[in-house]
Amino acid sequence: MSLITKYVLISIDEDTLIAGARKVETELKRILEELDLSREIMVVETGTMGIMGKGVVILIQPDDVTYVNVTPEDVREIANEHLLKGRPVKRLEFTGKIDQSVISFRETAQELKKQTRVVLGNSGLINPESIDEYIAVNGYEALGKALTEHKPEEIIDIVKKSGLRGRGGAGFPTGLKWSFTAPLKNKPKYLVCNADEGEPGTFKDRLIMEGDPHKLLEGMAIAAYAIGAEKGFIYIRGEYTLSINRTQKAIEDARKYGLLGQDIFGSGFSFDVEIKKGAGAYVCGEETALINSLEGGRGNPRVKPPFPGVQGLWQQPTVVNNVETLSNVPAIILNGADWYKSIGTEKSSGTKVYTILGHVHNPGLIEVEMGTTLRDIIYKYAGGVKGGKFKCALVGGAAGAFLNEEMLDVRMDYDHLGEYKAVLGSGAILVMNEESCIVDMLRNILFFFKHESCGKCSPCRIGTAQLYMLADKIYSGQGTDEDLDQMLTLSEAMSTTALCALGQSPYLVIHTADKFFKDEIEEHIRRKVCMKDICRMNGAEHK
Partner 1 sequence: MAEMVKLYIDGTEVEVPEGTTILNAAKEAGKNIPTLCYHQDLPPTAACGVCVIEYEGRPGMQRACCTPVAPGMKVITNSKTLRERRKAVIGLILSNHNVDCPSCAANEKCELQKLANDLGVDMHMYEKILDHRPEDKTSVAIVRDPDKCILCGRCVTVCDEIQTVHAIEIADRGFDAHVDTAFSAGMGVSPCVNCGQCIVYCPTGALREQSHLEAVWDAILDPEKHVVVQEAPAIRASIGEEFGMEIGSVTVGKMYSALKRIGFDAIFDTNFSADLTIMEEGTELVQRIQKGGKLPLITSCSPGWVKFMETFFPNLGENTSTAKSPQQMMGALTKTYYAEKSGIDPAKIVSVSIMPCTAKKFEAQRPEMRDSGYQDVDYVLTTREFVRMIREAGLDFKNLPEEKPYHALADYTGAATIFGATGGVMEAAVRSAYYLLTKKDMNNVDIKPVRGMEGIKEAELEIPGVGKVKVAVAHGLGNARELLTKVNKQLEETGKSEYVFIEIMACPGGCVGGGGQPYGSSIAMRARRGEGLYQEDSSLPKRCSHHNEAILNIYKEFLSEPGSKKAHKLLHTNYVERSVVSGDAVREITHKHGH
Which helix (H) or strand (E) segment holds residue 129: the answer is none
Q: What Cα–Cα distance (Å) separates residue 322 from each residue in 164, 226, 415, 510?
A: 12, 16, 19, 27
Strand partners, 93: 67
Residue 490 beta carbon to partner 1: minimum distance, rounded to whole angstroms: 7
Residues 6 or more apart whose Cβ sits within 8 Å of residue 327:
118, 119, 208, 212, 215, 216, 219
**43: which strand partners?**
8
- What's the closest the beta carbon of residue 473 comes to partner 1, in angstroms? 9
Q: Which of 57, 98, 445, 499 binds partner 1 (CB under 8 A)?
A: 499
Q: Is 478 one of the binding residues for partner 1 (CB under 8 A)?
A: no
Number of CB atoms found within 10 A of residue 469's CB: 15
Q: Which of 54, 450, 511, 524 binds partner 1 (CB under 8 A)?
A: 450
> Is residue 459 at the binding interface for partner 1, with CB under 8 A as the rule?
yes
Does the protein bind partner 1 through residue 453 (CB under 8 A)?
A: yes
Helix (H) or strand (E) holding 345: none
Q: Taking the complex as a whole, how short is the minimal distance between the CB of residue 398 and partner 1, in angstroms?
A: 14
- Using CB under 8 A as the binding rule, the residues of this chain from 303 to 332 that contact partner 1 are 303, 305
Long-range contacts for 376-380 (Cβ within 8 Å, ≥24 apart)? 377/412, 377/429, 378/408, 378/429, 378/431, 380/97, 380/100
5 binding partner 1? (CB under 8 A): no
Q: Does 471 bind partner 1 (CB under 8 A)?
A: no
Residue 321: name the closest of 499, 172, 525, 209 by CA: 172
Shortest distance in whole angstroms from residue 509 CB to partner 1? 17
Which residues inside 262-301 make contact with partner 1, applying CB under 8 A? 281, 283, 298
User: What single-letter DSSP state applies at residue 322?
Assistant: E
Query: How many residues of this chain interact with partner 1, rule: CB under 8 A?
Result: 31
Q: Select the residue interacting with partner 1 from 463, 477, 479, 506 (CB under 8 A).
A: 463
The DSSP result for 521-534, as a single string, is: HHHHHHS---TTS-
Q: Is 18 a binder of partner 1 (CB under 8 A)? A: no
496 binds partner 1 (CB under 8 A): yes
End-to-end C-alpha distance for the chain, whole angstroms: 70
Q: By CB under 8 A, tell whether 464 contacts partner 1.
A: yes
Q: CB-wise, 461 or 528, nearer to partner 1?
A: 461
Binding mask 156-185 for partner 1 (x = CB under 8 A): ------------------------------
> Which residue number, 268 or 305, has a Cβ lying nearer to partner 1?
305
List of residues contacting partner 1 (CB under 8 A): 281, 283, 298, 303, 305, 450-459, 461-466, 469, 486, 489-490, 493, 495-499
